[in-house]
Amino acid sequence: MERLQKYIASCGVASRRHAETMILEGKVKVNNRVITQMGTLIDPDKDKVVIDGKRLQLKKERVYLLLYKPSGYISTCDDPRKRRTVLDLVKDVEERLFPVGRLDYDTEGLLLLTDDGDLANKLAHPRYKIPKTYLVEVEGSLTAEKAAVLQDGVRLEDGLTQPAKVETEYYGKEGSRFSITITEGRNRQVRRMCEALGLPVTYLCRASMGFLDLRGLAPGQYRRLKAQEVSRLKRYTSA
């Protein structure tokens, strides 16, 4: 037996969180009966699960892409304002994909896309503390004192940030460049941390996530993850 929301995510329809929303909104049928009760258990081999008139089936092979997201794209599957989304960059992939977490419209860098909703949900969960390194350029000088604050924790409206690692490349009165590694995933976190110290961000790129990085890719390009890379990602979330 398997929880309904997990099964939906495993079929690549949506992340587990989105699957839960679909259930609550009455969009899911099991054996021709609308299900709105969270935690419903099903037998994938016997029960018929239908969403929008289409029966779900487990896929044998999942798709895992590493995309170098350019600035000027949003990290969602669609946009009411008709802006370009990251899915516009992978139109030659037939499977229905969704991003793991998000990068801001003006931020570039590493973004994972997959149809494995269960893994996507786990990778985006803060409990696993997957390190993410960003290259940052700001207006103003990143002094040693300000760098120490970034490392120790910045007080934001949603609480104190967790310790980070900061490595300064250069700094001066007009601007500074550095890298910062965080294990959280708050909305616009790096930008807000810098702005709280009077350092407006002029460039932001997520250079790595865990053991994955952007080597060999230019903005807008992507590659499929190797089997051993997928296995390592799953080990991140097995604890």
195 half-sphere exposure, CB direction, 13 A CA radius = 12
**Mean pLDDT of all residues belonging to the chain:** 92
Phi/psi for 84 (5° steps) reads -65, 140
H or E element that contains 18: helix 16-24
Residue 123 pLDDT > 80: yes
Confidence of residue 210 (pLDDT cuts 50, 70, 90): very high
Structure tokens at 199: 């350092």
Query: Catalytic residue among 52, 79, 104, 116, which?
Result: 104
Distance, CA of 213 to CA of 35 (rounded, Å): 41
Domain boundaries, the chain: 2-55, 64-126+212-236, 131-209
**Residue 155: closest CA among 183, 191, 197:** 197
Instruction: Give me the CATH topology for the region 2-55.
Output: 3.10.290
Largest separation between any pair of C-alpha atoms in the chain: 67
Across the range 67-71, mean pLDDT stands at 98
The CATH class for the domain spanning 64-126+212-236 reads alpha beta
Confidence of residue 127 (pLDDT cuts 50, 70, 90): confident
Residue 128 pLDDT > 90: no
Alpha-helix runs per DSSP H in 82-222: 117-123, 144-152, 189-196
CATH number, span 131-209: 3.30.70.1560
Across the range 220-227, mean pLDDT stands at 96
Q: For the stretch 104-117, what's the b/e string if a residue is b when 16 or more beta carbons lie within 10 angstroms of its beta carbon?
A: beebbbbbbbbbbb
Across the range 41-54, mean pLDDT stands at 90
Rg (C-alpha) for the chain, rounded Å, is 20
Asked if 118 is an active-site residue, the reply is no
Please determine whether the domains at 2-55 and 131-209 fall in the same fold group of CATH.
Answer: no
